[in-house]
Amino acid sequence: MNGLTSRRTVLAGAAGITTAAGLFGATGLIRAATSDATNTTGRLRIGYLPITDAAPLLLAHSAGLYPAGTVSAAKPVLFRSWAALAEAFMAGQIDVAHLLMPMAIQLRQVLGHGVRVLGWNHTNGSALTVAPDIDHLEDLAGTQVAIPFWWSIHNIVLQELLRGHGLRPVIRSTASRARRTVELVVMSPSDMVPALANRSIGGYVVADPFNAIAQIKKIGRIHTFLGDVWRDHACCVLVTREDVIARQAAAVQGVTDAVVAAQLRIDGDRKSAASALGGGKYLPQPVPAVQTALTYPNPPYPLKHPDWHPQKLGYQPFPYRSFTHRLVESMHDTVVDGDRGFLDGLDPARVHDDLVDDTFVRRAIARHGGPRAFGITPDFTRTEQVQAL
């Protein structure tokens, strides 16, 4: 597949959106197109979704950590949907972004070129939030649950969780809903809160601060932190394209260094980070919601593995090979509304080397205190811990 039509087909199918106009006429894409789309300055352009997952990219800009002349002087470009962000990224209208890791795999495999993962942007940071009358996971039988994207860690972990409780995730279910099924629907994160408030859905699984907002507004409650199912899983990853690396390797290194430095800075003072990002500065959500998302306390939040600290949004940059391997295995078992053909030839043992270039992040980690400063194992390996609750 190639060209704009191919990209639209891939993204529309993955997102479950039926009209290209509804997706690619989005405000985010228009903003990207008018933000130096031809890149006449030669500086890298950054795109993001307004969620706390983007915090390292944004704080690096707020704190002036990007090396002079490497990144556009304009603020990073805000998008409202994953599909719009990915379309602009693949079209060359932005050069650096945070993307869902499963989505990065899909784009690399289906489009055959372009996407390279430089490192992890964060770990954890997502939860299943449910309506107040949902006490147990089994109570979701017969309801709709919103997800942000088909190829997302949210959908993958949610489905493992549902299956572990004898529930079957389905698409466009009707009469079968009563037979212990949960219907999954793709929804923009900003639409999830009002949908839960009016009870058109039984819950949603998404990144923060949308889970924190539901609790602050008392329209729902956090049922499960996804980090309580898959310990320190990566959600969003730092990505660029092969052509950018080939053309501006020094700038890519500078951006990676800045993002890694921002991760340390956020971890050192989360309240200050929330103040720098929230309230419309970079994230439209109020500062208290962003601060809650960055500083979740221990109980009363439900934690099955408190020693995993599943409520803690982590900022560890190294992309573990073991995670990519386990993720690809999970993708084979995940129900999506879209083409799954690319999975047929997907070898979990080979995906990491094809997708990930950890050269830049290894240098950045070494320059900012080494593995110990980030809680990374000295040999850069780990064993995945996944347990449906």
- 244 shares its domain with 365: yes
Which of 206, 230, 254 corresponds to the end of one domain?
230
Strand pairing class (203-207; 46-48): unpaired
- pTM score, two decimals? 0.89
Q: Is 183 exposed, middle or buried (0-12, 13-18, 19+ CB in 10 A)?
A: buried
Asked if the structure places residue 118 within a domain, the reply is yes
- 103 shares its domain with 242: yes
Q: Report the percentage of the chain scoring pLDDT > 70.
A: 87
Q: What integer pLDDT is reported at residue 153 of this predicted model?
A: 96
Residue 298 to residue 311: CA distance in whole angstroms: 8
Instruction: Report, as ranges of residue numbers, the positions in the chain whose pLDDT lies below 50.
Output: 1-5, 12-37, 175
- 243 shares its domain with 349: yes
First to last CA, the chain: 40
Asked if the structure places residue 40 within a domain, the reply is no
Q: What integer pLDDT is reported at residue 1 of this predicted model?
A: 43
- 295 shares its domain with 333: yes
Which residues span the domain enclosing 69?
Answer: 46-123+232-386
Which of 189, 211, 230 corresponds to the end of one domain?
230
Asked if the structure places residue 204 within a domain, the reply is yes
- 222 shares its domain with 268: no
- Count: domains in the chain: 2
Residue 316 to residue 314: CA distance in whole angstroms: 6
Asked if the structure places residue 35 within a domain, the reply is no
- Report residue 18: phi and psi, to 5°: -95, -20
Asked if the structure places residue 6 within a domain, the reply is no
Q: Residue 387 belongs to what H/E stretch? A: none
Per-position b or e across 88-124, b if 16+ CB within 10 A of its CB: bbbbbbbbbbbbbbbbbbbbbbbbeebbbbbbbbbbb
Range list of β-strands (E), 166-282: 168-170, 181-186, 203-207, 221-225, 236-241
- 240 shares its domain with 218: no
- 91 shares its domain with 238: yes
- 101 shares its domain with 215: no
Which of 230, 257, 279 corresponds to the end of one domain?
230
Residue 61 to residue 372: CA distance in whole angstroms: 25
Q: What integer pLDDT is reported at residue 118 of this predicted model?
A: 98
pLDDT tens-digit map of 186-215: 999 989 999 999 999 999 999 999 999 999
Strand pairing class (115-120; 236-241): antiparallel
- 115 shares its domain with 262: yes
Neighbours of 385 (CB within 10 A): 13
pLDDT tens-digit map of 325-338: 999 999 999 999 98
Report the CATH number at residue 165. 3.40.190.10
Asked if the structure places residue 321 within a domain, the reply is yes
